[in-house]
Amino acid sequence: MLVKYLSMPLTRKFKETIQARVKRDAAFRKELLRESVECFVLGDIETGKAVLRDYINATIGFAELAEVTHHSAKSLMRMLGPSGNPQARNLFEIVEYLQRKEKVRFRVVAAIRRGLAQARKGAGRPADEVFDDLQREGAAR
């Protein structure tokens, strides 16, 4: 998982590798953005900021983001830096723009409700069959 790697200092070579992959692999790029949003939702703000910062550096850059958000690039970099404390409205504005740019839309779904629905679907059936059905459903979305 990407989160484990972010807790240690990243080497220049590692960041260059990530940036190169982001440029050539749209699925990886979208997953990186999703990972940052998920970290924020789960309360891991530091990791969310680090992943989002890497995503921005590898894609649009802070100059373009500054134009769109009407914040200076320097202010955005500080906001998403290790000691930054972005306001929710600024963070949501950034994520909303990046979603539009990437042509994705993330939804927050209550995990317990989804878990209960999945358990009901599987009542009395072999686990492998249930997991296969859930995997097919996920792929169809």
Asked if 79 and 30 touch (Cβ cutoff 8 Å), the reply is no
Domain positions in the chain: 2-102, 111-140
Contact 87, 45 (CB under 8 A): no
Asked whether 36 and 55 are in contact (CB, 8 A), the reply is: yes
Task: Output the tens digit of pLDDT for each of the chain's 141 residues.
Answer: 454 445 555 567 877 888 889 989 999 999 999 999 999 988 899 999 999 999 999 999 999 999 999 999 999 999 999 999 999 999 999 999 999 999 999 987 766 555 656 666 655 556 666 667 767 777 776
Q: What pTM was estimated for this model as a whole?
A: 0.69
Q: Tokens in use for 32?
A: 């990186």
